[in-house]
Amino acid sequence: MTELEYKEIILNKFKKQKAIVNWFKLAIGKFFQLIFILLIMLLFTIPIFLILCFRKMFLGIPMFSSSTILGHNSKIIKITTFNLKGHLLKHFSLIYQLLIGQIHFVGNSFLSDELESDENILLISKFGYPGIFNLWFIRESTKIAHEGLIVTELEYLATKSFKRDLSLIIKTFPALLFRSSEQSYQEKLEIFDLEFDNISMKEGLTLIENTIDSDKKKKFFFVNPDCMNKLYKDDQYFSILEKADYIFPDGIGISIACNILKTPLLENVNGTDMLPFLCEMSEKKNYSLFLFGAKPGVAEKMKKKLEEKYTNLNIVGIRSGYFDWDRDSSSIVQEINDSQATILLVAFGVPLQEKWISENFAKLKPNVLMGVGGLFDFYSGQMKRAPKWMREIGMEWFFRLIKEPKRMWKRYIIGNPLFIYRVYKWKKKKNR
Ligand code: UDP
C-alpha cells in the first residue's frame, strides 16, 4: 500500500474511534496495563537498577543515558533509559512514562524530535504514541524489506488493533535474536571472499533503473545461505558470482552471518519481495519483461496474474525453463532479443540460472539479466509463500521446509548450520 492510502485509512479510522468511545473497554485496558507495568517493575526494572548500581560502584559505568524523542501530539519528551545495549532491557526504566501514558508498550518507534517539521511525522505523532514494542524495530532487526521508516509507521497506525499489537509483542522476541548491536553499515560486505552489495530494496531498484536508463547491460544475482554453501564447493559458480555486477543479500541466514562478522546487513533484498516494486517501476517507465523459467505453464500463469494486477505492465515473452541447453540456447537467446525486453528474469534455480546468463551474456540484449530462483512458482500460485508474520520473524525457510520436506531438508536442516559453521571458520581464517 502507498503512503497516501495508509494516511486515508488512518484518518477514517481515528474519526470513527472518536465517535464511539467505549469507556468500559478503556477501563479494562487501563487495568491490565497497570498490572503489566507492576510486573515489569518487579521482574526487570528493580533487578536491572540494582545490577547497574553495582556496576556504577565498582566499574564507574554510568547507569543511565538520556535523550529526547517526539511524543504524542508533537510533544517533546525527555527519556532516561538504562545504559544497556539490549533494546527491551534498556527501556524498562521508563516506568513513570508508561504509567502516565506518555509512552505505550506497543506503538510507533521512538522518533527523533528533529523530524518534527515533516508533515508525515506530524500525522504519526497526532494519532500515535511512542511504543517500546514497535513494527520498525522488528523490520529493522530481521532486515525484511520495507519501504522506509515513515511508511512503516503509517502502516502500523493504519493496521493497529489489539490482535496486531499482541502479535507485535510476540514477534519482537525472535527479532531480538537477529538484531545486530553494530549500527554502522558498510557499502560492500564479504562472506567466503564474495563481495556483495549492502543496499536497501529502494537502492537496488535505483541500480536497475540506472542500468536501463543509461542503456547498459548488467547481471543481478541474489545470494542466500544455500547459494553460499554451493559456491563454497563450486569454483565455477563462485567465479560467475564474482563477475556479476550486483549481488544482493537474500535471507535471514545472510543477516546472521553478517552479525557474526560484525558487518551488519542493511536489508534483505530478495527477488520475491522485489517483484512488486519492479513491476510498478516497469509500468511507470515503460520497461518490458521476459519471464524465462520454471515448469511448462508456470510462466504463463504468472504473466496472467501480473497483467491482472499491473494493467500497464508490458510482458513481452515467456518460456519454460526445461529445454536442451546445447541445442536450444541460441534460438532462445534470439527469441528473447527479438522480444526487445529490457528486463529478463531467469528462474531455473541456483546455480543453473547464473550459469546460463553468464554463458549467454555477450549475445543477450536485455539491459537487466536477473536470476530469480523459485519466484515464478511463488507468484503463479504453484507454490505457497510463507505468510508475512513468518517472514517477519525470519522463519521463511521453515515454511519452505514444511512445504517440501523431501527436497528442502538437506538445504535447511543440514545447510543452515553448515553455513554458520563455515562463516565462523572463514572468520577465524581471515582473523576478523
Ligand atoms: N527449473 C527450471 N529448469 C531446470 C531446473 C529447475 O526452470 O532445469 C525451475 C524449477 O521448476 C523451479 C525453479 O527452477 O521453478 C527452482 O526453484 P527453487 O525453489 O529450487 O529455487 P531457489 O530455491 O534457488 O530460489
Q: Say if CB 53 and CB 113 are below 8 A apart.
A: no
Q: What is the pLDDT of residues 385-401, one digit of tens each?
A: 899 888 888 888 999 99
Residues 218 and 359 in one domain: yes
Q: Does residue 431 belong to any structural domain of this protein?
A: no
131 & 248 share domain: no
CA distance 99 to 112: 22
Domain edge (last residue) among 178, 204, 227: 178
Three cell numbers written together for 229: 554453501
> In this predicted structure, what is the pLDDT of residue 27?
82
Q: If you take atom 18 of ligand 1, which residue's CA is the nearest one?
A: 374
Do strands 76-82 and 64-70 pair parallel, antiparallel, or not at all (unpaired)? antiparallel
Q: What is the pLDDT of residues 24-83, one digit of tens each?
A: 777 887 888 889 889 988 999 999 999 999 999 999 999 999 999 999 998 999 999 999
The reported pLDDT for the residue numbered 179 is 82
Q: Which of 178, 204, 224 is the last residue of a domain?
A: 178
| pLDDT value of position 18 | 66
The verdict on 195 and 153 lying in the same domain is no
Q: What residue spans of 186-320 are helical by DSSP H?
A: 201-213, 225-233, 235-242, 252-260, 271-285, 298-309
Q: What is the rounded average pLDDT of the residues 186-205?
A: 94
* pLDDT tens digit sequence for 109-166: 999 888 777 888 989 999 999 999 999 999 888 888 777 889 999 999 999 998 999 9
The answer to whether position 207 is within a domain reads yes
CA distances from 367 to 63, 183, 212, 361 (A): 56, 34, 6, 10
Q: Which domain range does residue 153 map to?
A: 3-178
pLDDT of residue 21: 66
Least confident range from 83-87, 95-99, 254-258: namely 83-87
Cell of 251: 535471507
Do 279 and 306 touch, CB atoms closer than 8 A?
yes
Compute the C-alpha angle 52/181/414, nearest 5°: 125
- Say yes or no: 46 and 152 in one domain: yes
How many domains, the chain? 2
Pocket test residue of 377, 378, 399, 410 for ligand 1, highest count of atoms within 8 A of CB: 377
Q: What is the atom index within ligand 1 of the atom nearest the CA of 375?
A: 25
The answer to whether residue 256 sits within a structural domain is: yes
Measured torsion, CA atoms of residues 244, 248, 251, 255, in degrees rounded to the nearest 10? 110
For the CA atoms of 243, 244, 246, 250, the dihedral, rounded to the nearest 10 degrees, stands at -110
The CA 372 to ligand 1 mean position distance, Å, reads 9
Q: Are 288 and 315 in contact (CB under 8 A)?
A: yes
Ligand 1 pocket test, pick from 234, 301, 332, 348 with the greatest ligand atom count within 8 Å of Cβ, gives 348
What whole-number percentage of the chain has pLDDT above 90? 75
Distance from the alpha carbon of residue 411 to the mean position of ligand 1, in angstroms: 14
Q: Are 306 and 317 in contact (CB under 8 A)?
A: no
Q: Is 366 close to ligand 1, i.e. is its CB under 6 Å away?
A: no
89 lines ligand 1 (CB under 6 A): no
Is 321's C-beta closer than 6 angstroms to any atom of ligand 1? yes
- Using DSSP, state whether 324 is helix, strand or coil: coil
Q: Looking at this protein, which amino acid is placed at residue 75?
A: K
For ligand 1, atom 17, which residue shows the shortest CA distance? 374
DSSP, res 393: T
**Whole-angstrom Cα distance, residue 244 to residue 265?**
20
Q: How far apart, in whole angstroms, are the C-alpha atoms of residue 275 and residue 344?
A: 12
- Which sign does the torsion angle of CA 249, 255, 256, 258 carry? positive
Query: 284 C-alpha vs ligand 1 centroid, how far in Å?
Result: 29
Ligand 1 within 6 A of 350 CB?
yes
Letter string b/e over residues 337-362, b meaning 16 or more CB atoms within 10 A of that residue's CB: bebebbbbbbbbbbbbbbbbbbebee
- Judge if 276 and 211 occupy the same domain: yes
Q: State pTM to two decimals.
A: 0.84
pLDDT: is 314 or 181 the higher one? 314
Work out the angle between the directed axes of helices 3-19 and 149-159 (0-180°, nearest 10).
Answer: 30
| Residue 225 near ligand 1, beta carbon < 6 Å | no
pLDDT value of residue 19: 66
- How far apart are the CA of 351 and the centre of ligand 1, in A? 10
Predicted confidence at residue 177, as pLDDT, reads 84
Which residue's C-alpha comes closest to atom 4 of ligand 1?
A: 348
Cell of 66: 538520556
